Amino acid sequence: MLSRSRKFLSYYKPYLGLLFADTACALVVATTALILPLCASYITKNILAGITAQTIIQIMVMGMMMLALVLIHTACNMFVDYRGHTMGAMMESDMRRELFDHYQKLSFSFYDEQKTGQLMTRLTNDLFWLSELCHHGPEDITISLLKFVGVLVILVTINPKLTLILFLFMPVMAVYAFYFNRRMNIALRRSHDRIGDINAQVEDSLAGIRVVKSFTNEELEKQKFAYENRRFVESRRDGYKSEAYFSNGMIAFTQLMTITVIVLGGVAIVNDTLDLADLVTYLLCIGILIDPIQRAVNFTRLFQEGITGFNRFMEMLEVEPDIQDAPDAIELAQVQGHVEFRGVSFRYKDDHNYIIRNISLDIKPGEYIALVGSSGVGKTTLCSLIPRFYEVSEGEILLDGHNIRDIRLCSLRQQIGLVQQDVYLFAGTVADNIRYGKPDASRDAIIEAAKKANAHDFIMALPDGYDTDIGQRGVKLSGGQKQRLSIARVFLKNPAVMIFDEATSALDNESEQAIQASLEQLACHRTTLVIAHRLSTVRNAQRIVVLADNGIAEQGTHEELIALGGTYASLYNIQLKI
């Protein structure tokens, strides 16, 4: 808890000057609010006590002083509102950047367990309430504390006994506030989780909108959303109920204090222990006392919202990336592309079954290897271990004789190109998506990569050529066009090791032939691993490795494996009959 408190306070460090200015203005706001009733008291007790020819002038002078105080009060309040909110927004931006940077460090195994909507909620909604706390917290505490102490001193000076009676309300108010404050905290935490569930549901539904419409399941999606929406409303209802009891109860207590002052003050006037001028001042001070109580109520609500958001924010930051650079990790230079698996086994979690068992495979620089086998034997998983998307459970993988655990992740992944069946393109232009392979690439380099991927002709036929916006996830392009852009992206990257993960299995014959030609050109003089479903596409591989549940079943050229009459021959013959 202490470390989290230090972490929270650390976000103020870049803005200490603004924080001090904001706090100073808050002090001025509180001070001017306390001086105004004293000015009113001076008029009623001193100036009006003996009316003379100068009385009106004295009242006007005091009025001008009070007007000046109001102007100062207003100016400082405006500074607190404007610059304070700006400080909160900048702190929110810093936190959001830090959390997004942290998201980039986390491995596939983390994202396998998470919902995108929940992650987005921690990045947006949670941090908004945290920024409100960062801004309002210091000023509310400053104003409330100074006003409360100042009013207490004034009230004690006027009538100690009456003040003592008023402060008998405080223990009752504290117990009441603590109880409903705790209930608010529980409800707000539940509410933050629920809004994350809504975001996850919306993200899931909109990302799959084409599937939804093709199965005419709009009503099903509405029902799923309505369920999450209803759970959110229920959680908010609990929070609003506790908040209503809390805030209105505190207001009722302050009103009871006002009534107590009027009744007991009236009795004191009758008994000649209090004069009317002091009662007026006392009532003005009670009005000021209500403000710090209301600010405390508001601060409590913001504190619960903000701290709930901060705890959820910290829960993410405290997730340690399970794949990190070793302290003495090296940079790769002049990579040849020699990949070696030594007794590699893998499972996603310690209590899960092994996906891959005892794989040993030596792939020479520039060799073209095909990985085949039935679904679920771990072909894609095996290739995902090379760039360390997942960490091997047993054994080791070497690149040019270096254990990949001893290579800096950035350096390792820069040497590996991946072309997948499920192409992901970002919203933006054609050029932006190709340039993703090398952010500093020139326009000429982008065009050259597109030509090598057989993509230049269709790009030039688009309305704006390379500057054509392709929409979210490239929805304005066909499957073959998207695949060729992904290949152009890898051409631009120019890696030493290539991985093709069933890159043509979802395409028609014409597109497949064009893509296959691009892939073969890309694979030239590079170490290449091809995961193939259609065995006809890997007949030209230098070596075909057949994976089974217990490891490598057989390996060799197409002709050798057909002659062997084993697993590969059976799979190949089955596909010929289809």
Render pLDDT for 321-374 as a digit per residue (tens, 0 to 9): 888 888 888 998 888 889 999 999 998 888 888 888 889 999 999 898 989 888
State the pTM of this model.
Answer: 0.75
Query: Cα–Cα distance between 268 and 266 in angstroms, integer?
Result: 5
Render pLDDT for 88-124 as a digit per residue (tens, 0 to 9): 888 888 998 999 988 888 888 888 888 777 788 888 8
Q: What burial letters (b/e) apply to 275-288, b meaning 16+ CB within 10 Å?
A: eebbbbbbebbbeb
Tokens of 468: 């054509």
**Mean pLDDT score across all residues of the chain:** 83
Query: Cα–Cα distance between 493 and 452 in angstroms, integer?
Result: 13
- What DSSP designation does 537 have? G
Contact in structure between 365 and 338 (CB atoms under 8 Å): yes
Confidence tier at 136 by pLDDT (50, 70, 90): confident
Residue 335, helix vs strand vs coil: coil
Q: % helix / strand / coil in the chain, to the nearest 5?
A: 65, 10, 25
- Any idea how long the chain is? 578
Query: Cα–Cα distance between 370 and 114 in angstroms, integer?
Result: 32
Confidence tier at 515 by pLDDT (50, 70, 90): low
Which pLDDT score is estimated for 510? 60
Give the residue-averaged pLDDT of 385-407.
92
Which pLDDT score is estimated for 301? 72
Confidence tier at 483 by pLDDT (50, 70, 90): confident
* Domains within the chain, CATH numbers bracketed: 2-317 (1.20.1560.10), 339-577 (3.40.50.300)
Render pLDDT for 274-309 as a digit per residue (tens, 0 to 9): 777 777 777 777 777 777 777 777 777 778 778 888
Which of the listed ranges 20-24, 129-133, 244-248 does the model predict with the highest average pLDDT?
20-24
Handedness of CA 270, 272, 278, 283 (dihedral sign): negative
What proportion of the chain, given as a percentage, has pLDDT over 70?
95
**pLDDT higher than 90, residue 403:** yes
> Which residues, other chains included, contact 406 with Cβ-Cβ below 8 Å and sequence gap of 6+?
326, 328, 329, 330
Query: Cα–Cα distance between 157 and 70 in angstroms, integer?
Result: 25
Which pLDDT score is estimated for 398? 93
Which pLDDT score is estimated for 385? 92
Which of the listed ranges 18-27, 47-56, 530-539 does the model predict with the highest average pLDDT?
18-27
* Least confident stretch, 291-295, 505-509, 551-555: 505-509
Give the residue-averaged pLDDT of 156-166.
80
